[in-house]
Structure 1
């Protein structure tokens, strides 16, 4: 089971990299829109996050409040990305909210024990 957890964690990190990297590319290009990397990253984050929340370990599971917080953040990011993916241009505040929520989600994962 540890191998499965590590594969899910690896895929979760790849999803984070796609989401944040895709956002950085759009931000620095000056054309603020949702690219496919951001969409795939958000989907991978939610799917692997749900898989990681399964009780695969013996007694070292994260707190339920942390899991719910991460799920809500992940679903909010996915909704913001999914429903804006076909627009030619995204509002700057909306785009910054995606980036900030992504960073907050990572902070919850790292700092909440």
Structure 2
């Protein structure tokens, strides 16, 4: 009975040591990745390549072209758009006005109809 507490503490400490070792390995791997990225940024060819990709940099004497995507409205005009359903509050207000006037008009939202 007297050994239960020390054994439990020993097991707990071993578990925390293994967790700390795993965290140390993860941090070390992250450190190595950052060091590799730092070494890569010293390479002039990598700097030129990155400037061309990210900033669309064009060096002296080079001819650079940018390919533009066709505009979206041209493609959408060929496809027939369905009639727009008015917002629910517009339909509600129209039904209130119709009830006020006593016209008995029914407003339809597409899902349900609002009273007379």
Q: TM-score, normalised by structure 1?
A: 0.23
Q: TM-score, normalised by structure 2?
A: 0.23
Choose between structure 1 and 2 for higher RCO, CA contacts under 8 A separated by at least 6 residues. Answer: 1
